[in-house]
Structure 1
Amino acid sequence: MSNLGDNLLVKDLYMYDRLLKMRYCFICICFSDFRVSSRCFNKPHFLSQWTDVEAQRTRKPVTLEHECGDFPAKVEIQVRPKTGNWTNFYFPGIGSSQRDDDRNKTYGGIVYKYNKDEVVLFIPGANDGYSSGTIIYTGASTWRGPVAQRESRAQVRTLVWCPGDLPSPSHQSQWIPFNNSGIGSFLEIPHNQGTFPDLITVQIRQEGTEWLSDGIGSMSALKPDSTTSWGGVIYGYNRSHVRVWAPYRKNGKLFSADDGWGSSTESWSRGLVRIKSWKVTNMHYVTTQLNQNSNNELPLNTVYNQNEDFMIVKVLADNGNNKGFLFPASGAVQNDDGMSAYGGVVYAASRDTLRIWTPVLSGSRYLIYINDDWGNSMYPQTSISAKLLIQIWRSTTCAASTAPLATPSTSINQKSSKSVSTTSTSINSQTSNSNLKSNQAQSSKLSTTSPVVPAAVGGSLLLLAVSGAVVAVVLWKKYRRNRVVSETKEEG
């Protein structure tokens, strides 16, 4: 009888232990899922070490494993000078090269692509032409800015936010076919927000692969022709739509890191495009007017944590075919030819200051430039005045509670969209209008809105805890009952 009782006790204790472990495991999984389903912005999942790179010497692409196991929601490349007075100012990477080494004109930047496992960085390096590529370049006499920088040696690192590190997007499109030929080189995609999203991502996927690149904001290609290697996907968005342009003539590609980018010979002609949009709360932002005389060094009036925070710099077109559309700024000058048409806004940020470089606005140089070589000649743009919007997302930045999660959109306007009227220059959504108009050249205060924890998750955790307690009580009673039965049999 004693052996029988011991066996019962051992068996019950084993079951009790297993159920408790399952309960704790379930709780851990639930907390893990809470992070995935969080409505707030988290620190980057992956923050690489600083890596030394040198133009013309770092011949092979630099590969970094980000460990998402899925397509990242956002990738940021930070480039800083290795020595000198401005090592605290970081330049962003760029989504595609618009230059090769065929002409002896300086260009700069680090181009990147990524997939579910890796981020790959392409460093300037001559292939069969001139060794004129650098890592950091802010232009010569045809660009204006706070300082002139040309750095062949620099350091670079990568920040990667996995899908669970950002709030769930309020809208996400399907993967839409896109190419560099005729009507297929322009898309107009609704984002269904009814107001300006705080963040739009435009990801381009190479056809037949899992490699992604990011969109850019303006054309700076240097007189491209049928033998030039250049590319990129320009995008801008207003309160209702995202417009996307690809080069459709003169050998332009969706993505290029070819001929002038070390040993790389990579370019994409066909692919897929996906857009995501977010609306958030408690975000810090600064706005200013851009023109020939605008300030090129702006105080952020807050502390920008370059290890954790996410900065977005955008340019608002206040005239032209894309009036009221926002375009992303860039991270390097790739064209400073005084006889060439080009455009763009380049920036670098420290913990408390943003520096901007803009073309000298004379001749054919613009803040936003899209010529007839893009998007089947749909909606070309030449802006010599615009507004600059700087946004900083911190780890407490949360999705707006009123933003609905829209279903994937399949509505796309292409050539017929020419009849669609553009919106006005003012950002007049409920949360952005008054702030943007009253804070040109000034910083707004950081909202004190607290992060909101989804009630459903909290309720699930409470229910799980109560259920676990009930299971524990039942098992303990069973254990006591079996113990009494065992002791009674032993006494008998």
Structure 2
Amino acid sequence: MNNIRKPFISDWHQLSVNDLSPLPIPHSLNELPAKVDVQVKITHSGKEYIFPGLGSVPKDDDIPTEYGGVAYAYNSSHVLLFVPVIKSSFGGGIGRVITTGSDSYNGPFVGSASTCKVRIRAWGLSDWPKPDFSITAGLTISTASPYKKVHHCLGTYPDFVTVQLLMPGGLVSEGLNDYVSCFRDGWGDFPEIVADTADVIIRAWMLSSSDILNTNNFSYVKGDAVPWAGVISMTNAIDLDFHIVNVEIKDTTVSKGKVFYGAGSANMGYSGESYGGVVFGFTQSDVLLWTPSTSVVGGNLIYIGGLWGDGTENMQINNVQITVKVIKAGFTEWPLPQDIPNTIKLYNGVIAGSKTLYACTPGFSSNGGSVESSCNGTSWSDTTVACSAATDCPSVMPSTAQSQSTVPPDTKLSTVTPDTNSIKEFDTIIAELKVPKVNTSAFRRSLTCAYDSRESSMAIGSSGVSVESYLRGRVCGNSELNHSLGSE
């Protein structure tokens, strides 16, 4: 059990196309967030839906079609939210806070909204368990070197990955354009935020089954009917405050194919240009999927082409496995177990399933009550153990120089014998609770991968699973960060 803690959660804010952009929302972490999630809430046919925000602006207002989403960047004090603000002299760009791609995509409904409510969720690094793989220094990406492959050597697909781009000046983005990160041209009246190089921070986690609320996966070929008409019902309700919804699209045309994440808004180029990706939104009970239409030329379930990565490893994939995954977050530590007079206590945590054991201190005897208390995630169970002082020695009056002892010479003074039953039981249960070596953090750290930038070390790990980043050198706003997970 990894136990992802509660995030910072902001209030809901109203946003509209051609409104204030960017909108700064402060967070209280006092550090650079390890994970930010932007929830964009729209109303369609009287029902509310949530779409995820975008890590960078994917395209500008020059192309005569719908474009948009709510893009975001952040630092140690604020998250900046960007919405389309049309300024193009070409005219024709249609800004939206979310778009499901009009007739370029098939899905449960045609989503196109110019107003929404939005809020942010932000987690500090200490809110997450220790990553099973991480790079926090020594890796950069730039327009001059727009493709990177990093082997994470976990031997399997991570359950969750974050890729952050730390720009000069301290802002973090999660997407790429013709610059490493870009917020300009059709996204607000503000000083342009552009960077042609950035430091890359990657973290990957292997989660336990208790950390994952729902998992649904199915094979899909473009042109087939999407199972359940694109509405995937959840076995367990999604908590909009604490759960994280991910959609993964895996290339099944090769063994151990790469995995890409779905997006919260569709963005296409000029008519006839190739495009790709899966768009998703969700409610508390369902996850909704939109896939490229077969009636429009150029649509792909996975697409890397044009100037993405300077032409390295182009992909146009339409045979995939789609996985919908809901990850639990919102863990809260319960207060420490109670103190009981005249006892010692030992506890192995303050989460659901933790136990506390009590034993009488030497010189005190147990009443025979239960010595164990357990935590159910919201409270500690009661225990009936109580410890009282053992029988005292007989009183002996102090003697004086003239007095004689009244105790017969053959009489032995009684001694105190502490009740050791509770201590023996205590030791027995402690032995049962001892953590096997393979489950200790020290042992786990010994197996945790570390990034080594040397070419020799990268060659040694060439058969491992990789994280790849692609940068597209084109007009700002025509693409976003794609990081893939797969085996080579």
TM (norm. structure 1) is 0.65
Residue 219 of structure 2 aligns with which residue?
A: 289
Cα gap change, 1:214 to 1:391, in 2 (>3 Å)? same
The alignment covers a number of residue pairs equal to 344
User: Does the alignment pair 1:272 with 2:234?
Assistant: no
Q: 2:66 aligns to what SS in structure 1? A: coil
Shift of 1:198: 0.7
Cα gap change, 1:117 to 1:396, in 2 (>3 Å)? closer
Shift of 1:105: 1.1
In 2, the alpha carbon distance for the partners of 1:402 and 1:196 equals 23
Residue 260 of structure 2 aligns with which residue?
A: 327
In 1, the alpha carbon distance for the partners of 2:134 and 2:141 equals 20
Residue number among 318, 339, 342 corresponding to 2:275 in the alignment: 342
Is the Cα–Cα contact under 8 Å of residues 174 and 410 in structure 1 kept in the other structure?
A: no
In 1, the alpha carbon distance for the partners of 2:440 and 2:180 equals 35
Is the Cα–Cα contact under 8 Å of residues 155 and 465 in structure 2 kept in the other structure?
A: no
In 2, the alpha carbon distance for the partners of 1:99 and 1:373 equals 14
Residue 185 of structure 2 aligns with which residue?
A: 259
User: Does the alignment pair 1:43 with 2:6?
Assistant: yes
Q: 1:376 aligns to what SS in structure 2? A: helix
AA partner of residue 95 (structure 2): G
Residue number among 306, 310, 324 corresponding to 1:376 in the alignment: 310
Is the Cα–Cα contact under 8 Å of residues 370 and 381 in structure 1 kept in the other structure?
A: yes
Residue 314 of structure 1 aligns with which residue?
A: 248
Correspondence list, 1:93-242, <5 A: 93-129=53-89, 130=91, 132-182=94-144, 184-206=145-167, 208-215=168-175, 232=176
- Structure showing greater radius of gyration is 2
> For each residue in 1:385-412, what CA deviation from the matched residue of structure 2 results, as whole angstroms up to 9, or x when unmatched?
21111221213789x9589332641236
Q: 1:271 aligns to what SS in structure 2? A: strand
Q: 1:124 aligns to what SS in structure 2? A: coil
AA partner of residue 116 (structure 1): S
AA partner of residue 4 (structure 2): F
In 2, the alpha carbon distance for the partners of 1:255 and 1:203 equals 11
In 1, the alpha carbon distance for the partners of 2:155 and 2:259 equals 15
In 2, the alpha carbon distance for the partners of 1:82 and 1:412 equals 51
In 2, the alpha carbon distance for the partners of 1:413 and 1:274 equals 19
Is the Cα–Cα contact under 8 Å of residues 27 and 79 in structure 2 kept in the other structure?
A: yes
Cα gap change, 1:412 to 1:116, in 2 (>3 Å)? farther
In 2, the alpha carbon distance for the partners of 1:181 and 1:336 equals 21
In 2, the alpha carbon distance for the partners of 1:105 and 1:422 equals 41
In 2, the alpha carbon distance for the partners of 1:374 and 1:422 equals 23
Q: 2:95 aligns to what SS in structure 1? A: coil
Cα gap change, 1:277 to 1:412, in 2 (>3 Å)? farther
Shift of 1:253: 1.4
In 1, the alpha carbon distance for the partners of 2:309 and 2:199 equals 15
Cα gap change, 1:423 to 1:275, in 2 (>3 Å)? closer
> For each residue in 1:308-337, what CA deviation from the matched residue of structure 2 results, as whole angstroms up to 9, or x when unmatched?
1112221111126x9511111101011175
Shift of 1:357: 0.8
Shift of 1:421: 6.5
In 1, the alpha carbon distance for the partners of 2:455 and 2:33 equals 27
Shift of 1:84: 4.0
Residue 298 of structure 2 aligns with which residue?
A: 364
> For each residue in 1:429-473, what CA deviation from the matched residue of structure 2 results, as whole angstroms up to 9, or x when unmatched?
xxxxxxxxxxxxxxxxxxxxxxxxxxxxxxxxxxxxxxxxxxxxx
Residue 411 of structure 1 aligns with which residue?
A: 453
Is the Cα–Cα contact under 8 Å of residues 186 and 376 in structure 1 kept in the other structure?
A: yes
Is the Cα–Cα contact under 8 Å of residues 154 and 464 in structure 2 kept in the other structure?
A: no
Cα gap change, 1:300 to 1:374, in 2 (>3 Å)? same
Stretches of 4+ moved more than 6 A in 1?
Answer: 421-424
In 2, the alpha carbon distance for the partners of 1:83 and 1:276 equals 36
In 1, the alpha carbon distance for the partners of 2:249 and 2:122 equals 24
> For each residue in 1:270-311, what CA deviation from the matched residue of structure 2 results, as whole angstroms up to 9, or x when unmatched?
111011011111213111223222221111211110111112
Q: 1:113 aligns to what SS in structure 2? A: strand
AA partner of residue 107 (structure 2): G
Q: 2:207 aligns to what SS in structure 1? A: coil
In 2, the alpha carbon distance for the partners of 1:117 and 1:392 equals 28
Cα gap change, 1:401 to 1:346, in 2 (>3 Å)? farther
Shift of 1:354: 0.7
Residue number among 11, 14, 22 corresponding to 1:52 in the alignment: 14
AA partner of residue 41 (structure 1): I
AA partner of residue 152 (structure 2): H
In 2, the alpha carbon distance for the partners of 1:155 and 1:85 equals 15
Is the Cα–Cα contact under 8 Å of residues 153 and 465 in structure 2 kept in the other structure?
A: no
Q: Percent identity?
A: 24
Q: 2:63 aligns to what SS in structure 1? A: coil
Q: 1:133 aligns to what SS in structure 2? A: strand
Q: 1:141 aligns to what SS in structure 2? A: helix
Is the Cα–Cα contact under 8 Å of residues 153 and 464 in structure 2 kept in the other structure?
A: no
Q: Structure 2: where are the runs of 5+ without partners?
A: 332-350, 352-437, 467-488
In 2, the alpha carbon distance for the partners of 1:196 and 1:167 equals 17
Q: 2:68 aligns to what SS in structure 1? A: coil
Shift of 1:383: 0.7
Shift of 1:128: 2.9
Q: 1:164 aligns to what SS in structure 2? A: helix
Residue number among 28, 35, 50 corresponding to 1:67 in the alignment: 28
AA partner of residue 32 (structure 2): F
Shift of 1:179: 3.7
Shift of 1:372: 4.2
AA partner of residue 200 (structure 2): V
In 2, the alpha carbon distance for the partners of 1:191 and 1:423 equals 6
Q: 2:39 aligns to what SS in structure 1? A: strand
Residue 12 of structure 1 aligns with which residue?
A: none
AA partner of residue 31 (structure 2): D
Residue 77 of structure 1 aligns with which residue?
A: 38
Q: Structure 1: where are the runs of 5+ without partners?
A: 1-37, 216-231, 233-246, 425-492
